[in-house]
Chains A and B, each alone.
Chain A
Amino acid sequence: MNLSFRRVAAMCLRHLYILKGSWPRVLEMAYWPAVNMVMWGFTSQFFAANSTWVARASGVLIGAVILWDVMFRGNLGVALSFLEEMWSRNLGHLSVSPLRPFELVVSMLCMSLVRTLIGVLPAALLAIPLYHYSLFTLGLPLIAFWFSLMVSGWAIGLGVAALVLRFGLGAESLAWVLIFAIAPLAGIYYPIATLPDWLRPVAWALPPAHVFEGMRSIMLDGVVRVDLLLSALGLDALYLTAGVVVFLRVWHGARVRGALLDVGE
């Protein structure tokens, strides 16, 4: 595959210009993860005093909140980068430029990383002085958790972008809501064992279930579950490949249907 980093960088530059020109957008990215973390921080403090399970590791809920936001922001970063092109009716120009669809995908993933860092890092840092909890005490596995959740978010974001390209901007709200369909199955705040027996295989088919179980294993038992990390990354590879393939196929379909010029608000 012929990938040009110059063209990928050009697309990233296009989105960085938007961020540079709008501090409210940057603030908005960090706002909700920070508010969410503060709210769950107080909830954690309450549970730590009233629940033996949480008391074993008071940061378990805060860590879960921050890591879930990694996945949510990963998804939103991809979807919003694509929606920006739809909103500005720019897809026509991009489609006749030398930019290849795969390069567009890579640029959306890069921008998702930037948006996720801007969104989640302040919340993670804020948790240290506020609740004496540092996500960074997870050590090296944190990098794998972060990466795995972000890739899961990317896969969903690409699915959302494909749906918006196929069905138009009427589907744009999926960028914010689709990911929540898997939240109950991801075991963010509770072990997968809490789910009914018949639902557990579905949960284990999702990378975040492995990540959050892995996180709890470190925080509650002090055990790094490499098996969980590897299975999460393996599933991520599968879902991301599926996301890319679906997006590229829908893109091709848009060329058959003539949809690339007819998009916009």
Chain B
Amino acid sequence: MTAAIAVRAVAKSFGAVRAVDDISFDVPMGSTTALLGGNGAGKTTTLSMLLGLLIPTSGSITVLGEDMVRHRYRVLPRLNFSSPYVDLPHRLTVRQNLTVYGHLYGVAGLKDRIGELADELNLGEFIDRPAGKLSAGQKTRVALAKALLNTPDLLLLDEPTASLDPDTADWMRGYFQGYCRRVGATILLASHNMTEVERMCDQVLIMKQGRLVDRGSPAELIARFGRDTMEEVFLDIARDRRRAPEGDGS
């Protein structure tokens, strides 16, 4: 299967600190992959490099067939990103924000597309309210609407269901799965919600101290670690309690 993302021997240093240390992985086209790790594991740095926000110290990153360091503008119209830690302009209404980003991404039939997303993500009641006056859950939904505006082939999601109530979060996961089936899109998500990872992901990449320490499907990892859930696998790896009997994560 062709890789939507191909990362080869990528490292990133900030002065003496090695934030990401020689990682390599592929994200197959049409798959949903989770990037897991504790705080400071290097997930955000890795996501930033995949988005072209951060230039790697060494190694190569290819996204949708393009070198992300040299030709990122060829691929940026085909991907999108959502993070609860990056805001949209507070003083603009939700509709205005979506309109501005729609124009930036060159979305055809923008009014219809915004209406469609407002219906699908239930933004109607606050679409003409300033983005800064929304609740955390509403902001997350707006950020997802922005991320879906250009119907991206690749979605990079940083904690996509953070701040959502369990019902909305569950609905959102179903929405993403439906979106991937419908569009054939690829998703790479960073999440601390292991239920989400088990339900949505075909592949899991686990990082620790800047290195990729394990990988596999959720079922494979659970079986390999002899556990019942991904949560337990995650804790084992985070606390160095047990090593996987097979597979070295490379």
Interface residues of A (CB under 8 A from B): 2, 6-7, 9-11, 13-14, 17-18, 21-22, 84-85, 88-90, 92-100, 255-258, 260-261, 264
Q: Tell me which of B79-87, B111-119, B241-249 binds A.
A: B79-87
Least CB distance, B42 to chain A, in whole angstroms: 12
CB pair A97 B103 closer than 8 Å: no
CB pair A9 B73 closer than 8 Å: no
Please name all residues of chain A whose beta carbon is closer than 8 Å to the beta carbon of B92 when the two chains form the complex: 14, 17-18, 21
Least CB distance, B188 to chain A, in whole angstroms: 13
Output the nearest chain B residue to A10 by Cβ-Cβ distance: B103
CB pair A100 B100 closer than 8 Å: no
Q: With A100-B73, A257-B14 as given contacts, are A6 and B103 in contact (CB-CB < 8 Å)?
A: yes
Query: 9 A–B contact pairs at CB < 8 A?
Result: A2-B73, A17-B93, A90-B87, A90-B88, A92-B85, A92-B86, A95-B52, A97-B104, A258-B53
B29 at the interface (CB under 8 A from A): no
In the bound assembly, the distance between CA atoms of A264 and B146 in angstroms comes to 20
CB pair A97 B76 closer than 8 Å: yes
CB pair B87 A261 closer than 8 Å: no
CB pair B14 A96 closer than 8 Å: no
CB pair A21 B91 closer than 8 Å: yes
In the bound assembly, the distance between CA atoms of A69 and B106 in angstroms comes to 37
Chain B CB within 10 A, most for which of A11, A13, A97, A99: A97
Output the nearest chain B residue to A95 by Cβ-Cβ distance: B53
Please name all residues of chain B whose beta carbon is closer than 8 Å to the beta carbon of A13 when the two chains form the complex: 99-100, 103
Q: With A2-B73, A10-B103 as given contacts, are A261 and B85 in contact (CB-CB < 8 Å)?
A: yes
CB pair A261 B73 closer than 8 Å: no
B174 at the interface (CB under 8 A from A): no
In the bound assembly, the distance between CA atoms of A99 and B102 in angstroms comes to 12
Please name all residues of chain A whose beta carbon is closer than 8 Å to the beta carbon of B90 when the two chains form the complex: 88
CB pair A93 B101 closer than 8 Å: yes
Task: Specify the main secondary structure of chain A where it touches its partner.
Answer: helix
Q: Tell me which of B43-51, B196-204, B216-224, B227-235 binds A.
A: B43-51
CB pair B48 A261 closer than 8 Å: yes
CB pair A96 B91 closer than 8 Å: no
In the bound assembly, the distance between CA atoms of A241 and B44 in angstroms comes to 35
CB pair B48 A258 closer than 8 Å: yes
Least CB distance, B117 to chain A, in whole angstroms: 16
In the bound assembly, the distance between CA atoms of A260 and B83 in angstroms comes to 14
In the bound assembly, the distance between CA atoms of A265 and B4 in angstroms comes to 35
Output the nearest chain A residue to B57 by Cβ-Cβ distance: A256
Please name all residues of chain A whose beta carbon is closer than 8 Å to the beta carbon of B53 when the two chains form the complex: 92, 95-96, 255, 258, 260-261
Question: Of the candidates A84, A98, A257, which one forms a contact with B77 in the assembled complex, judged by CB atoms under 8 Å apart?
Answer: A98
In the bound assembly, the distance between CA atoms of A88 and B83 in angstroms comes to 14
B10 at the interface (CB under 8 A from A): no
CB pair B54 A98 closer than 8 Å: no
In the bound assembly, the distance between CA atoms of A13 and B48 in angstroms comes to 27
CB pair A10 B104 closer than 8 Å: yes
B163 at the interface (CB under 8 A from A): no
Question: Of the candidates A10, A21, A84, A96, which one forms a contact with B51 in the assembled complex, judged by CB atoms under 8 Å apart?
Answer: A96
B105 at the interface (CB under 8 A from A): yes
B89 at the interface (CB under 8 A from A): yes
In the bound assembly, the distance between CA atoms of A260 and B224 in angstroms comes to 39
CB pair A14 B100 closer than 8 Å: yes
In the bound assembly, the distance between CA atoms of A99 and B101 in angstroms comes to 10
In the bound assembly, the distance between CA atoms of A264 and B77 in angstroms comes to 25
CB pair A88 B86 closer than 8 Å: no
Please name all residues of chain B whose beta carbon is closer than 8 Å to the beta carbon of A7 when the two chains form the complex: 103-104, 106
Please name all residues of chain B whose beta carbon is closer than 8 Å to the beta carbon of A258 when the two chains form the complex: 14, 45, 48, 53-54
B96 at the interface (CB under 8 A from A): yes
Least CB distance, B120 to chain A, in whole angstroms: 20
B55 at the interface (CB under 8 A from A): yes
Q: With A2-B73, A258-B14 as given contacts, are A99 and B89 in contact (CB-CB < 8 Å)?
A: no
CB pair B100 A17 closer than 8 Å: yes
In the bound assembly, the distance between CA atoms of A94 and B86 in angstroms comes to 10
Please name all residues of chain A whose beta carbon is closer than 8 Å to the beta carbon of B52 when the two chains form the complex: 95-96, 255
Output the nearest chain B residue to A255 by Cβ-Cβ distance: B55
